[in-house]
């Protein structure tokens, strides 16, 4: 669709959210760049390739209990009524036991450990009150991890426990995928970074999106504000097509100063323009030189809603990160939420724990406009009203999504 046709159509036909997201993700190719990082830097990074154990854990036979290492056959028949007496020495031979501690190497000649609770030491001898079988209270080589065992497959996201295991088998570094790179370009001739004059607006969308990118596992480049000029916008986007994703804020609708769809069409292709969601339907999704481009609306709330719905899954796919659902809270709605049929609505709410019946309630924020940033910043989550539902009534139980989650 040409830019003029798009402007005249005025978003009469809007793409469903699910379809738009699938269209964008089809244009995202996970990058193949990897890097080797220290274990201290590897938390939440994604494994590149299969990892196997370089050595066994334990790599020696070790005592699993405090006590005495023995030849098991020397204890056969021992009991409380008929204990066995063994000499205490440094080495284990027939009739001789050696003191051991949990985790210590099992002496040569020993094949079991008698727990200290089942013994009594007198001088240079130890009385054993319980028989043990061969291998009892002994951790064999490779009991925890066998040498050559596969630990992690490509795509596994590392946790602190994983990093402890890798260190135990002899790794001090690990090969991981680089974080996906995202160029964030705020646009609009009215934007300034500080001290706004009448008619000027402080730039917040680019900063917010940049910080979401970092929270979601990517590396963001926060660019200078670009004015509403076709040549300037084209140059800014073209210069950053070496990133995995390019994100712009503002200029995505159909007004006279909404130039970004035209610019992207000129250097690539607009895949979607106008999505059936509220707030934020004037979002556009495109691609140029195989780099996905997200054109987010300029209203702050609309920008955040679309960043969560489109940027987050695209970023995670590009960076080999798993897709996860947000944490949710079930709550009773205190006021009605209205919704337009055929549109997916994201209604911001505040949560309250009530003393009565120990229930949680959700109250829609009074300020609901897509330009009211405080309605998001001071909310606890949003209720997603599906396209097939015409809102919810007070008293309904709703699911509140926490869009601020990181994983």
Predicted local confidence at residue 13, as pLDDT: 81
Return the higher-pLDDT residue of 182 and 9: 182
Query: Is a pLDDT exceeding 60 seen at residue 4?
Result: no
Q: Is 240 helix (H, G, I), strand (E, B) or coil?
A: coil
Q: Which residues of the chain does CATH 3.40.980.10 include? A: 3-33+179-319
Asked whether 70 and 107 are in contact (CB, 8 A), the reply is no
How far apart CA 212 and CA 210 sit, in angstroms, is 5
Alpha-carbon distance of 280 to 403, in angstroms, equals 15
Structure tokens at 333: 């709605």
- Fold classification of 328-401 is Beta-clip (2.40.340)
* Measured distance CA(350)–CA(357) in Å, rounded: 19
Tokens of 226: 């670009």
**Mean pLDDT value of segment 242-258:** 93
pLDDT for res 252: 92
Whole-number pLDDT of residue 214: 96
Which residue intervals of the chain bear CATH 2.40.340.10? 328-401
CATH topology of domain 35-57+154-177: Molybdopterin biosynthesis moea protein, domain 2 (3.90.105)
- The confidence band for 254, taking pLDDT boundaries of 50, 70 and 90, is confident
Q: Specify the CATH number of the domain 3-33+179-319.
A: 3.40.980.10
The angle subtended at Cα 291 by Cα 212 and Cα 243, nearest 5°, is 55
Q: Average pLDDT for residues 85-110, to the nearest whole number? A: 96
Q: What does the pLDDT look like over 76-88, one tens digit per residue?
A: 999 999 999 999 9
Q: Which residues, 6 or more positions from 243, have their beta carbon under 8 angstroms from its beta carbon? A: 181, 182, 183, 221, 291
Distance from C-alpha of 34 to C-alpha of 222, rounded to nearest angstrom: 23
pLDDT at 142 > cutoff 80:
yes
Strand partners, 381: 349
- 2 vs 342, higher pLDDT: 342
CATH number for the domain running over 62-139 = 2.170.190.11
Please say if the pLDDT value at position 147 is more than 80. Answer: yes
Q: What pLDDT score does 5 carry?
A: 55
The segment(s) of the chain belonging to CATH 3.90.105 are 35-57+154-177
Per-residue confidence (pLDDT) for residue 256, from 0 to 100: 85
pLDDT of 368: 59
- Percentage of the chain exceeding pLDDT 90: 86
Give the per-residue pLDDT at 24.
98
Q: pLDDT digits over 326-366, tens only?
A: 999 999 999 999 999 999 999 999 999 977 777 999 999 87
């Amino acid at each position: 669709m040409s830019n003029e046709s798009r402007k005249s159509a005025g978003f009469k036909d809007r793409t469903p959210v699910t379809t738009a997201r699938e269209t964008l993700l089809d244009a995202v190719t996970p990058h193949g760049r990897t890097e080797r990082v220290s274990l201290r830097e590897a938390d939440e990074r994604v494994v590149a390739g299969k990892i196997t154990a370089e050595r066994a854990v334990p790599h020696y036979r070790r005592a699993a209990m405090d006590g005495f290492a023995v030849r098991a056959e020397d204890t056969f028949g021992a009991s409380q009524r008929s204990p066995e007496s063994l000499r205490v020495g440094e080495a284990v031979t027939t009739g001789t036991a050696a003191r051991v501690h949990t985790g210590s190497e099992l002496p040569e000649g020993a094949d079991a450990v008698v727990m200290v609770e089942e013994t009594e030491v007198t001088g240079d001898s130890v009385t054993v009150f319980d028989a043990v079988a061969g291998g009892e209270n002994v951790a064999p080589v490779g009991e925890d991890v066998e040498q050559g065992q596969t630990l992690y497959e490509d795509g596994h996201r590392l946790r602190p426990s994983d990093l402890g295991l890798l260190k135990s088998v002899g790794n001090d570094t690990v090969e991981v995928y680089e974080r996906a790179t995202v160029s964030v370009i705020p646009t609009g001739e009215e934007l300034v970074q500080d001290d706004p004059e009448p008619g000027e607006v402080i730039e917040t969308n680019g900063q917010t999106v940049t910080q979401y990118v970092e929270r979601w596992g990517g590396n963001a480049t926060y660019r200078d504000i670009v004015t509403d000029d076709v040549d300037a916008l084209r140059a800014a986007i073209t210069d950053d097509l070496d990133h995995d994703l390019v994100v712009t804020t503002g200029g995505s609708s159909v007004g006279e100063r909404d130039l970004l769809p035209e610019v992207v069409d000129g250097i690539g292709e607009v895949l979607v323009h106008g999505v059936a969601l509220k707030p934020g339907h004037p979002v556009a999704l495109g691609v140029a030189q195989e780099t996905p481009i997200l054109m987010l609306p300029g209203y702050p709330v609309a920008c955040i809603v679309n960043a969560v719905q489109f940027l987050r899954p695209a970023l995670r796919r590009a960076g080999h990160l798993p897709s996860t659902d947000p944490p949710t809270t079930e709550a009773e709605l205190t006021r009605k939420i209205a919704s337009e049929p055929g549109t997916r609505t994201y209604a911001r709410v505040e949560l309250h724990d009530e003393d009565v019946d120990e229930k949680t309630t959700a109250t829609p924020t009074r300020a609901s406009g897509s330009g009211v940033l405080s309605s998001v910043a001071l909310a606890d989550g949003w209720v997603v009203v599906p396209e097939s539902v015409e809102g919810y009534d007070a008293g309904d139980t709703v699911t509140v999504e926490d869009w601020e989650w990181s994983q």
